[in-house]
């Protein structure tokens, strides 16, 4: 082993200089290609840089050279988790624990795997085992809290996160997840300051300076900008009219995703521009999802009335005027590009085959209120619609009697129009929909149909089909 290069690589890793550390481990491997620890540590550096395929090659080489090393198996399992290979990661970690039942990192990582497998009780058990073995640690307490949140136990999550935040070097994600736990309990005023922790490592602000704190805006230019998904933008623009009314002399610029431009041009007294383009100079700026915190919004002051309307004189397609119910259907969240993020996205989407019982409901015409080709399983009874952007979607939604949707941007659009929405919601729910109840505090027209257990869409669709049949019968009589 090139001891000097190895130690230098470890020091650079500890300092966060991962690319330089890789160069040191390269020298180790040039001197001795059989140095399994150098392969492992170079893999760790590549993992830190999100070079997942290169890290996988290094870990597999380390595993070939030292097949019984627990550190290799644990780190390889973490990488496999990132790639979405949960079963393989689970098996590796259980191998480690069969050999070393007191391996705290293996317990903690197995807890994370169980979390992504939606086995939240087992996830909590594993994290508690890790904490019992290694003591309180902010990352492990945060992982335990995440399992509690997913299991709809936000009070327990709050307890664990406050324990984590009492420790030195608690990461920003602990503050952010505390916001989630508080939001799920409806404790908005307490949650908003913690929600800002998303800018301390979770997200990168486009404009970190000149942040608006709520001071008077007379004669000033305020830039509001979309920071997350399309649904988040649609949900938060409800506060823009309130802000406009409170600051009549201000120049308010709203920068949003391209697909929302035509729709949101309806906001009076606001300049709506593409987030992707050149924006004017401003005095102050604020990410859109920070607006309710600055405005001091809580459940009691949350605006609930409809706040958008269709802006097109002619819809892309005129739906037939019949006695049959016209029901929009959205079953798929936006793809996330693979790996663990795509598995999470799939958890919010409803498989096409699970929707088949809706086909049997009499007196209903179904329309796909999502762009793209309709799944072959649905193509003979769900009609596609010509949707180029959300102005098109709003024009079509305005003609519908009801939207049945997964947790997607379409539900926020339909509800912002004041139209009825039935949301097929995963068991874990979502922070802004609280941890219990079948209605949304954000929209009077929304009803939630939640999975009784993680992944169980069959029960949800059966309930929706029964309710839809009743609605259809009432409409015909």
**Rounded-to-integer distance, Cα 327 and Cα 118, Å:** 31
Q: Phi first, then psi: what are they for 409, rounded to 5°?
A: -60, -30
Q: How far apart are the first and last CA of the chain?
A: 84
| Separation between Cα atoms, residue 244 and residue 268, nearest integer Å | 8
H-run or E-run covering 76: helix 70-82
| Cα atoms in the 13 Å half-sphere on the side-chain side of 420 | 11
Q: How far is Cα of residue 19 from the mean position of the Cα atoms in its chain?
A: 30
Q: What pLDDT sits at residue 347? A: 78
CA angle at residue 333 from 329 to 337, to 5 degrees? Answer: 150
Q: Where in the chain is the domain with CATH 1.25.40.10?
A: 3-199
Question: In the sheet where 270-274 sits, what is the strand order?
Answer: 270-274, 251-256, 221-225, 284-287
Domain with CATH 3.40.50.2000 in the chain: 325-476
pLDDT at 1: 61
- Give the start-end residues of each E strand in 281-384: 284-287, 325-330, 364-368, 382-383
Buried residues in 26-63 as b, exposed as e (16+ CB within 10 A): eebbeeeeebbbbbbbbbbbbbbeebeebbbebbebbb
DSSP character at residue 86? H
Report the CATH architecture of 325-476: 3-Layer(aba) Sandwich (3.40)
Q: Indicate the SS3 state at residue 202.
A: coil
Helices (H), 372-430: 390-397, 409-416
Give the sign of the dihedral formed by CA 396, CA 304, CA 346, CA 55.
positive
For tokens 């540590």, what's the residue?
Answer: 41
Q: Which of 229, 228, 222 is nearest to 294 (CA)?
A: 222
Over residues 393-435, the pLDDT tens digits come to 999 999 999 999 998 999 999 999 999 999 999 999 999 999 9
The angle at the Cα of 196, spanning 192 to 197, to the nearest 5 degrees, equals 125
Which among 79, 146, 159 has a CA at the least distance from the CA of 114? 146
CA distance 446 to 420: 6
pLDDT at residue number 198: 96
Contact 70, 58 (CB under 8 A): no
Please state whether the predicted TM-score (pTM) of the whole model is above 0.75: yes
Query: What pLDDT is stored for residue 444 in this prediction?
Result: 95
| HSE value, Cβ hemisphere, 13 Å, CA-based, for 92 | 27
Count Cβ atoms within 10 A of the Cβ of residue 171 and give its class: 0-12 exposed, 13-18 middle, 19 or more buried: middle
Cα separation, 265 vs 309, in Å, equals: 11
Question: Burial letters for 316-342: b for 16+ Cβ neighbours within 10 Å, e otherwise?
Answer: eeeeeeeeebbbbbbbbbeeeeeebee
**Residue-level pLDDT at 463:** 97
What pLDDT sits at residue 338? 62
Tokens linked to 456: 């169980």
Task: Work out the number of other CB atoms within 10 angstroms of the CB of residue 467.
Answer: 16
Write out the chain's pLDDT in tens, 477 residues.
678 889 999 999 999 999 999 999 999 999 999 999 999 999 999 999 999 999 999 999 999 999 999 999 999 999 999 998 999 999 999 999 999 999 999 999 999 999 999 999 999 999 999 999 999 999 999 999 999 999 999 999 999 999 999 999 999 999 999 999 999 999 999 999 999 999 997 888 889 899 999 999 989 999 999 999 999 999 999 999 999 999 999 999 999 999 999 999 999 999 999 999 899 999 999 999 999 999 999 999 999 899 999 999 999 999 999 989 999 999 998 766 566 776 676 778 999 999 999 999 999 999 999 998 999 999 999 999 999 999 999 999 999 999 999 989 999 999 999 999 999 999 999 999 999 999 999 999 999 999 999 999 999 999 999 999 999 998 877
Superfamily of domain 3-199: Tetratricopeptide repeat domain (1.25.40.10)
| 3-state DSSP assignment of residue 450 | strand
Alpha-carbon span 467 to 168, nearest angstrom: 52
């Amino acid at each position: 082993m090139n001891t000097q290069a190895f130690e230098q690589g470890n020091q650079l890793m500890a300092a966060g200089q991962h690319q330089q550390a890789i160069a040191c481990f390269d020298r180790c491997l040039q001197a001795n290609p059989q140095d399994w620890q150098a392969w492992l540590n170079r893999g760790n550096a590549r993992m830190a840089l999100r070079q997942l395929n290169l890290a996988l090659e290094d870990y597999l080489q380390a595993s070939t050279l030292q097949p019984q090393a627990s550190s290799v198996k644990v780190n390889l399992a973490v990488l496999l988790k990132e790639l979405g290979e949960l079963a393989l990661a689970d098996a590796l970690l259980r191998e480690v624990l069969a050999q070393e039942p007191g391996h705290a990192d293996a317990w903690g990582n197995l807890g994370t795997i169980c979390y992504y497998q939606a086995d939240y009780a087992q996830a909590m058990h594993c994290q508690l085992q890790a904490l019992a073995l290694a003591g309180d640690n902010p990352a492990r307490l945060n992982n335990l809290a995440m399992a509690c949140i997913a299991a709809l136990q936000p009070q327990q999550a709050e307890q664990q996160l406050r324990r984590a935040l009492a420790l030195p070097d608690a990461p920003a994600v602990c503050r952010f997840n505390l916001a989630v736990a508080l939001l799920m309990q409806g404790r908005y005023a307490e949650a908003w300051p913690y929600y800002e922790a998303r800018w301390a490592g979770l997200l990168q602000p486009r404009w970190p300076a000149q942040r608006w704190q709520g001071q008077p805006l007379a004669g000033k230019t305020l830039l509001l900008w979309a920071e997350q998904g399309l649904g988040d933008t649609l949900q938060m623009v409800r506060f823009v009219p309130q802000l406009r009314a409170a600051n009549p002399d201000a120049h308010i610029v709203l920068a949003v995703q391209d697909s929302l431009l035509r729709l949101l041009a309806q906001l009076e007294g606001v300049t709506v521009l593409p987030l992707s383009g050149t924006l004017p100079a401003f005095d102050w700026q604020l990410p859109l999802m920070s607006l309710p915190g600055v405005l001091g919004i809580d459940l009691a002051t949350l605006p609930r009335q409809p706040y958008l309307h269709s802006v097109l004189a002619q819809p892309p397609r005129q739906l037939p005027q019949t006695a049959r119910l016209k029901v929009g259907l959205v079953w798929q969240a936006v793809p996330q590009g693979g790996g663990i993020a795509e598995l999470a996205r799939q958890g919010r989407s409803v498989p096409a085959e699970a929707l088949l019982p809706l086909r049997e409901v009499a007196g209903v015409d179904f329309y796909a209120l999502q762009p793209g080709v309709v799944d072959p399983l649905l193509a003979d009874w769900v009609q596609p619609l010509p949707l180029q952007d959300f102005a098109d979607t709003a024009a079509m939604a305005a003609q519908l009697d009801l939207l049945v949707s997964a947790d997607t941007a379409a539900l926020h659009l339909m509800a912002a129009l004041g139209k009825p929405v039935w949301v097929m919601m995963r068991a874990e729910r979502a922070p802004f929909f609280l941890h219990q109840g079948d209605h949304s505090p954000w929209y009077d027209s929304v009803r939630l149909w939640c999975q009784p257990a993680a992944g169980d869409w069959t029960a949800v669709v059966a309930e929706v089909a029964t309710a839809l049949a009743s609605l259809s019968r009432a409409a015909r009589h």
